[in-house]
Amino acid sequence: MSIIKVAEIDFRYKDVWALRDVSFDVRRGEFLGIIGPNGSGKTTLIRVIDGILAPERGDISVKGNNIRGMRRRDLARLVAVVPQDSAMIFPFMALEIVMMGRSPHLGMLRFEGNRDFEIAREAMEMTDTISLADRSIDKLSGGERQRVLIARALAQEPEVVLLDESTAFLDIKHQAAFFGLMKALNREKGLTVLAATHDINLAAAYCDRIMLLKNGRIHSLGAPGEVITEANIREVYETDVLVDANPLNGLPRITLMASKGKGVCSL
């Protein structure tokens, strides 16, 4: 059963088309990876699905409801976004940032209760940020700040999480921990995840399906082994790579071919 339907989406920034005729469904409980080179439309697609950007043509529905007719609060109860980074104007404490994720569940005159604080602290424990609770967000490193934003999204208790290069500022340890956490939530709680990422190997390791974008259009969509091929990567990224099977899980693994026979390096 589909939880998200994207139908014939076109979007442009002035005269530059960012998305053209994009259509696909996301099944409930699916982990979908979105890959593609810079400028291929990954971030724009995430923002269109979240309702931040309005498409020039086409529709997006979540749980059968067209998001054009949904209140922002109602959509936020279903969909949470973890951006690549988020500028904070005021020096809020990390716990205050995470508590912002509870806003869609609060009424106009309702203040946070014990249950809201409990949910926020659970989200911080899952993201290894509980020790940062009383620290100002502007005093945290880029990676620490990003983990706080992930905790904020989890505190929303959404059914869908949209990840926009959410691990860009994380080290290898926290990248693996984050994708492992999202996969666990995906499997155990049925959380639907859409992850836009530049890390093709991470996408291959954790995603059920992968969408490859090229110039705002869907180049290919399918299982990791169907999309991550030497031919597809060469055509979309204009780069020669080696694609083989990861010996640990059999999933596709991509290695960048260095020029002039100087060796290879894993992406």
Whole-structure pTM value: 0.89
Coil, strand, or helix at residue 172? helix
* pLDDT, average across residues 55-66: 96
Structure tokens at 7: 């139908």
Coil, strand, or helix at residue 160? strand
Can you spell out the DSSP letters for 122-141? Answer: HHHHHTT-GGGTTSBGGGS-
* pLDDT, average across residues 178-183: 89
**256 Cβ contact partners less than 8 Å away, ≥ 6 residues apart:** 239, 241, 264, 265, 266, 267
How many Å apart are CA 13 and CA 44, to the nearest integer? 10
E strands, 71-223, in order: 79-82, 160-164, 192-196, 209-214, 217-222
Residue 5: the pLDDT is: 98
How many Å apart are CA 40 and CA 32, to the nearest integer? 17
How many Å apart are CA 30 and CA 265, to the nearest integer? 31
* Highest mean predicted confidence (pLDDT) among 105-119, 142-156, 202-216: 202-216
